[in-house]
Amino acid sequence: MSREMALRLESEVFDEVRAGINNYLQITLAKMDDSKSNEAELTVKLNIKFDRMDLPVISKTGDNDLREAIFPQLSHKITSIIKTKYDTGGKFVADGDYELVKSNDSHEYIMRKIVDPQQSLYDTE
């Protein structure tokens, strides 16, 4: 690294971030193609933290003074989410033999067979 550098996305400080984005972009595109997915999300999170410290400064008069120095910490995380939807379908129709009721025991909704009030004493069900 040179003696001075601008903190811009193009600077060498962010080489690793840019390489990671390029790498994850290619991985995401390949996985989308393989899984026939039509949508993905690539997220880059950059965290910035400052550590502050007093450093000695020797003035021209020889006095020892202190100045505050800021040491940035930059960390990143790259996340790729491929949006693939899998679903299945079906249908249940209560055709008159069952009704929806709330169970007194479990307090959950259940399907209960409707008992015909004209049922004979000799019917087994």
Query: What residues make up the domain containing 55?
Result: 12-83
Query: 26 pairs with which residues across the strands?
Result: none
The verdict on residue 96 lying in a domain is no
Q: Which of 26, 83, 21 is nearest to 46 (CA)?
A: 21
What is the Cα–Cα distance from 67 to 62, expressed in whole angstroms?
A: 15
Domain count, the chain: 1
Cβ(45)–Cβ(28) below 8 Å: no
Predicted confidence (pLDDT) per residue in 81-97, tens digit? 998 777 777 777 777 78
pTM of the model: 0.60
Domain membership flag for residue 65 = yes
For 82, the token pair is 């491929």
Residues 23-73: pLDDT tens digits?
999 999 999 999 989 999 999 999 999 999 998 887 777 778 888 899 999
Q: Does a structural domain hold residue 102? A: no
For residues 41 and 84, is the Cβ–Cβ distance under 8 A? Answer: no
